[in-house]
Amino acid sequence: MTIKSRKPIFSRAARADLRSIFKYIATRNPEAAANFVLDIHLKIRSIARSGFTGVARDEIGQNLRGLPYRDRCIYFRIEDTRIYIVRILHGRQDISLEDFPESEI
């Protein structure tokens, strides 16, 4: 059985989340911030290779999945040829539908 690797596509909100994560950590340690964001990118590539992982979050959006990773939660949708990264939020953050605009999910 061949596993299909999907191309990661980041929503505007997910890109903004990564910038916010970097800026927050960089105030104390710029190198750690760069390494943390790189690590998130590597995890997303791993998700793209492995396929259906994470937990279904259909209460937020159809086919939306969430995967906790290093105090964050990566929210994504898997499609045939790509993985669409919707948000990357802190795992302790209370989330609501307002965190996921309809255009992003």
Write the pLDDT tens digit of every residue in 17-53: 999 999 999 999 999 999 999 999 999 999 998 876 8
Exposure string over 58-79, b if 16+ CB within 10 A, otherwise e:
eebbeebbbbebeebbbbbbbe
For residues 60-79, average pLDDT: 92
- Residue 4 inside a domain? The answer is no
For residues 55-78, average pLDDT: 92
> Which residue range forms the structural domain that includes residue 66?
9-99
pLDDT of the residue at 3? 61
CA atoms in the 13 A half-sphere facing the CB of 70: 13
- Residue 3 inside a domain? The answer is no
Of the ranges 7-16, 36-45, 48-57, 67-76, which one carries the lowest mean pLDDT score?
48-57
Cα separation, 69 vs 91, whole angstroms: 8
Total tally of structural domains belonging to the chain: 1
The CATH code of the domain that includes 44 is 3.30.2310.20
- Residue 34 inside a domain? The answer is yes
The pLDDT of residue 72 is above 90: yes
- Residue 104 inside a domain? The answer is no
pTM value is 0.88
- Residue 105 inside a domain? The answer is no
